[in-house]
Amino acid sequence: MEHIIPLTKNGNNDIENLALACFHCNRNKFDKTRAIDAQSDVEVPLFNPRQDSCSEHFIWSWGGDKDA
Ligand SMILES: [Zn+2]
């Protein structure tokens, strides 16, 4: 279970703040809530599965080719 806003940053255990994540994604996110966007080089909020649209942020790519 992933805390979208980490408990260390005043997040809570309410359902609106929780998301399912695999071990690797949960560990990689750690307590981050923002990151540098690789295309714009600007700091942005991380994807929030409770508020943001998957189709606006992700595309499916067979074989994992990020440039597809
Ligand atoms: Zn994952």
**Residue 67 domain-assigned (yes or no):** no
Task: Report the separation in Å between the CA atom of 29 and the middle of ligand 1, taken as the mean of its atom positions.
Answer: 10
In sequence order, the 6+-apart residues with CB closer than 8 A to the CB of 39 are none
- pTM of this structure: 0.75
Question: Does residue 32 fall inside a structural domain?
Answer: yes
Contact between 42 and 34 (Cβ < 8 Å)? no
Between 59 and 6, name the one with better pLDDT: 6
Q: Near ion ligand 1, which residues have CB within 5 Å?
A: 22, 25
Determine the pLDDT at residue 67.
58
Model pLDDT for residues 11-49, shown as the tens digit of each residue: 999 999 999 999 999 999 999 999 999 999 999 999 999
Domain count, the chain: 1
| 48 in a structural domain | yes
Print the domain residue range for 41: 2-58
pLDDT at 47: 93
Domain assignment present for 65 = no
68 located within any domain: no
For residue 54, the CA-to-ligand 1 centroid distance in Å is: 14
